[in-house]
């Protein structure tokens, strides 16, 4: 019996010669990360141990991204905890305001996440890095503290579901639509503590940014991790990013006789741009069935869809147009490098001329933190990953999830719209 890509990575990092779903194993961690919300708790727990050194200051990443720039005194104090811990332990990968970005876009960009890695983060969307062929998953802050101490963590080997995407994507359809469609099919607990392994000809043609978007939202189906085997597209990407980090990698692929608890097949030629209605990502509908719903705000950015290709798509829709007079459109480039690239390409100018507000990188509105909070009765269409009750503000506000093209078109029309309506 063969092994899945996830099983192979876990096996390699545990030193075991074989593993099976359900096994409890201890694995070495290649990279662990925390942000300004989750890391302070981990730091507090670490300091209780009395240890003077972390396990490896080169394998820890601290990224202040949720409440930055600091929105109030409490958030400023949280940020200070990260800053002082990073200085004390000489954390190599600490990213200050001005050079930081949204963590799940920043770390791959900086070459810190590689194929074959085992990565944990005190943030549920750490599963993003599975797009590179890594095993990456979110953990609690106390687990992060344990890794600060030992560089290891216990895992239960997950079962794997294989998702096969066949056919050719339609115009305006990308990775965000594929994952919304998938979550709509299996539900928010359809992959509970399971690996979501994305395969098929449609996946093989997907650019990296779309792969990141898909793996980012594996957690929204309850997945332990999302993963896509590294291929030529992946390796072209990592060869560029490793010019910064000089990191090495190892490519793992699932065996042909690997065992899956389930196999799901989809023909992508029948998928149009998707919109997830509140209050769950699984409430996914084709945009043609929901266009016309009035909106007050459009948010384009986040760790799901704030990369350069997402901004290019939004700019393509917005160029030469104006945001509807009753709508606020806020753009969040995911990192400073993406922001700079968008400036060079004239995308920022397009956004400003269209009447958008362009922000420094921050998670801000995605978690209802700041920079775009909703009041009672307001609706927002967003390229973020969650639309739970109160996610972006008031409990009586609503969040609709979409790809960047739909979010941009909706900003222009003042209602949920298909990109063709504004193109």
Q: How confident is the model at residue 257 (pLDDT cuts 50, 70, 90)?
A: very high
Rounded CA-CA distance 380/357 in Å is 15
Please identify which residue in the block is written with the tokens 């927002």: 380
Residue-wise DSSP of 277-340: PTT-TT-EEEHHHHTT-B-SEEEEEHHHH-SHHHHHHHHHHHTT----TT-EEEEE-SBHHHHH
For residue 111, give Cα distances in angstroms to 156, 231, 409. Answer: 27, 17, 33
- Cβ(201)–Cβ(167) below 8 Å: yes
Residue-wise DSSP of 2-65: B--HHHHHHHHHHT-S---TT-EEEEE-SEEEEETTTHHHHHHHHHHTT-SS-S-TTSEEEE--
Please report the pLDDT score of residue 312 as a whole number.
98
Q: Is the pLDDT of residue 374 over 80?
A: yes
Residue 339: burial class (beta carbons within 10 Å; 0-12, 13-18, 19+): buried
Length of the chain: 423
Q: Is the pLDDT of residue 423 over 80?
A: no
For 359, residues 6+ apart whose C-beta sits below 8 A from its C-beta are 301, 330, 331, 332, 333, 371
Q: Is the pLDDT of residue 242 over 90?
A: no
Please report the pLDDT score of residue 301 as a whole number.
98
Q: Is the pLDDT of residue 384 over 90?
A: yes
- Provide the 3-class DSSP secondary structure of residue 366: helix
Among 232, 216, 240, smallest CA distance to 109 is for 240
Rounded CA-CA distance 75/63 in Å is 14
Q: Quote the mean pLDDT of the chain.
A: 97
Q: How confident is the model at residue 243 (pLDDT cuts 50, 70, 90)?
A: confident
Residue-wise DSSP of 194-254: EEEEEESHHHHT--HHHHHHHHHTGGGGT-SEEE----HHHHHHHHHHHHHH---------
Q: How confident is the model at residue 208 (pLDDT cuts 50, 70, 90)?
A: very high
Average pLDDT over residues 343-362: 98
Please report the pLDDT score of residue 248 as a whole number.
87
For 74, residues 6+ apart whose C-beta sits below 8 A from its C-beta are none
Q: Which two tokens stand for residue 118?
A: 């085992």
Average pLDDT over residues 269-282: 98
Please report the pLDDT score of residue 1 as a whole number.
80
All domains of the chain, ordered by start, with CATH? 5-265 (3.30.499.10), 274-422 (3.30.499.10)
Please report the pLDDT score of residue 247 as a whole number.
83
Rounded CA-CA distance 66/152 in Å is 26
Please report the pLDDT score of residue 246 as a whole number.
77
Rounded CA-CA distance 390/371 in Å is 15
Please report the pLDDT score of residue 85 as a whole number.
98
Average pLDDT over residues 44-66: 97
Q: Which two tokens stand for residue 28?
A: 């070495």
């Amino acid at each position: 019996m063969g092994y899945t890509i996830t099983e192979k990575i876990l096996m390699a990092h545990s030193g075991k010669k074989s593993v099976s779903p359900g096994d409890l194993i201890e694995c070495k961690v290649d990279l662990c990360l925390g942000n300004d919300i989750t890391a302070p708790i981990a730091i507090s727990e670490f300091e209780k141990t009395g240890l003077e050194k972390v396990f490896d200051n080169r394998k820890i990443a601290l990224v202040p991204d949720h409440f930055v720039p600091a929105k109030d005194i409490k958030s400023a104090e949280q940020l200070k905890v990260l800053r002082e811990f990073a200085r004390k332990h000489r954390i190599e990968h600490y990213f200050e305001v001005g050079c930081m970005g949204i963590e799940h876009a920043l770390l791959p960009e900086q070459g810190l996440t590689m194929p074959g890695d085992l990565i944990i983060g005190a943030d549920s969307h750490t599963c993003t890095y599975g797009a590179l062929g890594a095993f990456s998953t979110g953990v609690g802050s106390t687990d992060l503290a344990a890794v600060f101490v030992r560089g290891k963590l216990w895992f239960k080997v997950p079962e794997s579901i294989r998702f096969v995407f066949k056919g050719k994507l339609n115009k305006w359809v990308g990775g965000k639509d594929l994952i919304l469609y998938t979550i709509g099919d299996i539900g928010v607990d359809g992959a509970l503590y399971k690996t979501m392994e994305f395969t098929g000809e449609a996946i093989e043609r997907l650019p990296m940014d779309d792969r990141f978007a898909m793996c980012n939202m594996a957690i929204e189906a309850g997945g332990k991790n999302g993963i896509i085997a590294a291929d030529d597209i992946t390796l072209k990407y990592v060869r560029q990013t490793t010019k910064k980090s000089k990191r090495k990698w190892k490519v793992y692929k699932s065996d042909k006789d690997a065992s899956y608890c389930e196999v799901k097949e989809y023909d992508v030629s029948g998928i149009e741009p998707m919109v997830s209605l509140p209050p769950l990502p699984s409430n996914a509908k084709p945009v043609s069935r929901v266009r016309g719903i009035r909106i007050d705000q459009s948010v384009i950015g986040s760790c799901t869809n704030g990369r350069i290709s997402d901004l290019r798509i939004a700019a393509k829709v917005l160029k030469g147009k104006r945001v509807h007079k009753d709508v606020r459109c806020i753009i969040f480039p995911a990192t400073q490098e993406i922001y700079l690239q968008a400036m060079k390409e004239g995308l920022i100018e397009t956004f400003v001329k269209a009447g958008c507000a362009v922000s420094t990188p921050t998670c801000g509105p995605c978690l209802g933190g700041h920079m775009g909070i909703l009041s009672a009765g307001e609706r927002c269409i967003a390229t973020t990953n969650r639309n739970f009750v109160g996610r972006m503000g008031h409990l009586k506000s609503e969040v609709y999830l979409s790809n960047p093209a739909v979010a941009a078109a909706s900003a222009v029309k003042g209602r949920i719209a298909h990109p063709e309506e504004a193109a």
